[in-house]
Amino acid sequence: MQIILYDGGYSMVERQDKPELQCNNCNKPWWYDDFDSIFIQCPHCQGELRRVTPEEPFRHR
């Protein structure tokens, strides 16, 4: 389990790996295998998801 802090709150998740996606709207972390479809949007707020990359890392609080 890990707790991921982001601007606006935190997520408690069972997995240990770093988030692959971040919502541009609510900043929640997500992973590709959270989704069945390739057309993905934030399940929390329907916001646009951004890929986390080394150049644009996850934005923590």
Is residue 13 within 8 Å of 2, Cβ to Cβ? yes
Does 45 interact with Zn ion (rule: CB under 5 A)?
yes
Which residue number, 1 or 6, has a Cβ lying nearer to Zn ion? Answer: 6
Is residue 39 within 8 Å of 48, Cβ to Cβ? no
What element of type H or E holds 51? strand 49-51
Window 13-42: residues binding Zn ion (CB under 5 A): 23, 25-26, 42
Which residue number, 33 or 49, has a Cβ lying nearer to Zn ion? Answer: 49
| In the complex, minimum distance from the CB of residue 42 to Zn ion, in angstroms, rounded to a whole number | 3
